[in-house]
Amino acid sequence: MKKVYVVLLISSLFACNFDERRLNEDAQRFIDEYSKEYVKLYAASQEAQWKSNIDIKEGDSTNSIQTRKTEEAFAAFTGSEGVIKKAKAFMEHATSLTELQRKQMEAILFSAANNPAIVDSIVKARIKAETAQTEKLFGYQYKIGNQKVNTNDIDDILKNETDLTKRRQAWEASKEVGKGLKEGLINLRELRNKTVQALGYKDYFNYQVSEYNMTTDEMMDLNHKIMKEMWPLYREMHTYMRYELAKKYKQSEVPDFLPADWIPNRWAQDWSSEVHVQGINLDSILKTKGAAWIPKQAEAFYVSLGYDPLPTTFWEKSSLYPYKADSNVKKNNHASAWHMDLNQDVRSLMSVEANSEWWETANHELGHIYYYMTYTNKDVPPLLRAGANRAYHEAMGTLMGLAAMQKPFLENAGLIPQGVKTDSIQSLLKEAMNSAVFISFSSGVMTGFEKSIYSDNLPSTEWNKKWWDLVKQYQGVLPPTARGEEYCDAATKTHINDDAAQYYDYALSYVILYQMHQHIAKNILHQDPHACNYFGHKEIGDFLRKIMYPGSSKDWRKVLKETTGDDLNANAMVDYFSPLMGWLKEQNNGRKYTLPESL
């Protein structure tokens, strides 16, 4: 009896091994064939988009037609029924696939879910609705009273005006656009959910979260944890801001919650323009160096960390400088970095001029470029040549931009004289009023709102109430006047309309960047995180390469743990701003705190 059992067991093991091997071979063949076509169509669409960005001629739609064509071809292939069926069939045996194969199948299905042919009519309706929505948003004519204004005019008022009546008018004017966007957003919620549900995702929010290999609850918990860690600092800043703004607007009474129209930003997501720092001025010296020096010097920074020089094709094919003002051809002046073919063709689009803004930007964009170059290697297949998660790429760029702006770095580069005096508390306060304040908006308000509309199917009769409940809870901000359901104040934020359900990416990228920076400052350089000089330290390059090399082929949590020794948390960010805590507490001494002590 025993013998028979053993024999049976062995033969079934053999059968299993054999099937598994065949399954792996079949899966690999499918992945290889898919990847070949994917890269071809991706590169064609990138090339067309590139031209659309650097070769803009009025009245000439050649490029936009080509862009649309190549994007349609890409969408038709990635969302095709055959691809979906096969990938799904392989995923039924997910445990028998290698980890790398499983990750590639997931990437294939994630791409498919954006345009699945199996629900073709819904996809078409969604694309149409998205286009209509952005046209409505960007084509909207803002008005203060009868006067036509644009969003820059409104932002200027919110940054500079001290007359509260004028501020309120401008703030209210900025929210009118939401009324006309509500209907479209209700429709988009349904279409977005239905598109991804065709591939088995619960809803659109869950779909976006799945790219992190997390459940919706895990993502919500993570965002809550970050806010909880940041909360004591936020509470101090909130108190400080209430009193400072009451003083500035000559109000005898300090409000318990910040009135939304007192803040220098339409969504209260960035308060930094309230702080004026006598800063470091690089512009005059950069002018003597000239624009072309900037990207070259940024490259030298990366080379000093042990990276290879940029490929010659980068210099030949990139578009790095602005066109002449009278040129018939225009370009997009917003900086970006491109991985054209998921291989060696890397390019950057910039309009570098000799000033400090472009100095920081050039160092930032090369962070993306070196990330592309590093995960383009024999161990990472094309489909996984991406950041460890969506937040990492931006974290990397911002980290390197930040490093290139620190005082010892600038002194070393000869861009400022040695020993220039700066007000370190004021510049730290300005930084916190940007990044630390932003966490409440991104992790709390935006993420909470989009989760409740996509995952919890919140009735549209409660949207504006929900939005303002979240704003009050996480930002400690109140609207100046009643905001009924005829408004849709969330929809005044671009991302709600055209980049839905992924706003936590920005919060996470800040958190990750401070984790990386703290590790470098404390464990590699042994320098003060507020005053570092990365230049010339090959060990920093080694550390960054360990993060960059696997692309998205390795779980991002493992990557973080193995490189920084830590899980994702905001402690590094809290530490970084800790000199500010003492200062703020002194300022707030005797003042009334209105936010709860902990979240």
3-state secondary structure of 13: helix
Distance separating alpha carbons of residues 1 and 398, to the nearest angstrom? 67
Count of H-run helices and E-run strands, the chain: 25, 6
The length of the chain is: 599
Half-sphere exposure for 37 (CA within 13 Å, toward CB): 15
Residue 254 or 405: the one with the smaller Cβ distance to Zn ion is 405
CA angle 45, 50, 56 (to 5 degrees): 120
Q: Least distance to Zn ion from the beta carbon of 393, Å?
A: 7
Residue 382 or 397: the one with the smaller Cβ distance to Zn ion is 397
Q: Least distance to Zn ion from the beta carbon of 335, Å?
A: 8
Burial 191-211, CB ≥16 within 10 A → b, else e: bbbbbbbbbebbbbbbbbbbb
3-state secondary structure of 435: helix
The residue at minimum Cβ distance from Zn ion is: 397
Q: Least distance to Zn ion from the beta carbon of 440, Å?
A: 22
Q: Least distance to Zn ion from the beta carbon of 548, Å?
A: 14
Is-contact 43 50, C-beta < 8 A? no
Q: Least distance to Zn ion from the beta carbon of 339, Å?
A: 13
Residue 201 or 301: the one with the smaller Cβ distance to Zn ion is 301
Q: Least distance to Zn ion from the beta carbon of 192, Å?
A: 25
Is-contact 478 257, C-beta < 8 A? yes
Residue 199 or 396: the one with the smaller Cβ distance to Zn ion is 396
Residue 397 or 408: the one with the smaller Cβ distance to Zn ion is 397
Residue 41 or 373: the one with the smaller Cβ distance to Zn ion is 373
Q: Least distance to Zn ion from the beta carbon of 321, Å?
A: 19
Q: Least distance to Zn ion from the beta carbon of 367, Å?
A: 7
In 3D space, the residue among 104, 70, 89 whose CA is nearest the CA of residue 23 turns out to be 89
Q: Least distance to Zn ion from the beta carbon of 505, Å?
A: 11
Strand partners, 330: 56
CB neighbours of 474 closer than 8 A, spacing ≥ 6?
227, 440, 441, 443, 444, 445, 448, 599
Distance separating alpha carbons of residues 490 and 184, to the nearest angstrom? 13
Residue 158 or 362: the one with the smaller Cβ distance to Zn ion is 362
Which DSSP string do the residues of 45-83 spell out, in sequence order?
HHHHHHHHHH-B-TT--HHHHHHHHHHHHHHHHHT-HHH
Strand partners, 348: 337
Residue 397 or 551: the one with the smaller Cβ distance to Zn ion is 397
Q: Least distance to Zn ion from the beta carbon of 394, Å?
A: 5
Crossing angle of the two packed helices 447-454 and 177-197, in degrees rounded to 10: 60
Binding site for Zn ion (CB under 5 A): 397
Q: Least distance to Zn ion from the beta carbon of 372, Å?
A: 12
Residue 259 or 397: the one with the smaller Cβ distance to Zn ion is 397
3-state secondary structure of 466: helix
Distance separating alpha carbons of residues 351 and 365, to the nearest angstrom? 12
Residue 167 or 364: the one with the smaller Cβ distance to Zn ion is 364
Is-contact 557 515, C-beta < 8 A? no
Residue 236 or 365: the one with the smaller Cβ distance to Zn ion is 365
Q: Which amino acid is at 481?
A: T
CB neighbours of 564 closer than 8 A, spacing ≥ 6?
515, 516, 518, 519
Residue 215 or 494: the one with the smaller Cβ distance to Zn ion is 494
Q: Least distance to Zn ion from the beta carbon of 364, Å?
A: 6
Q: Least distance to Zn ion from the beta carbon of 370, Å?
A: 12
Q: Least distance to Zn ion from the beta carbon of 552, Å?
A: 17
Residue 263 or 512: the one with the smaller Cβ distance to Zn ion is 512
CB neighbours of 256 closer than 8 A, spacing ≥ 6?
242, 592, 594
Which DSSP string do the residues of 479-503 spell out, in sequence order?
-SS---TT--GGGGSHHHHHSTT-T
- Please give the distance of CA 515 from its chain centroid, rounded to a whole number: 16
Q: Which amino acid is at 522?
A: K
Residue 241 or 369: the one with the smaller Cβ distance to Zn ion is 369
How crowded is residue 250: how many other Cβ atoms within 10 Å of its Cβ?
A: 8
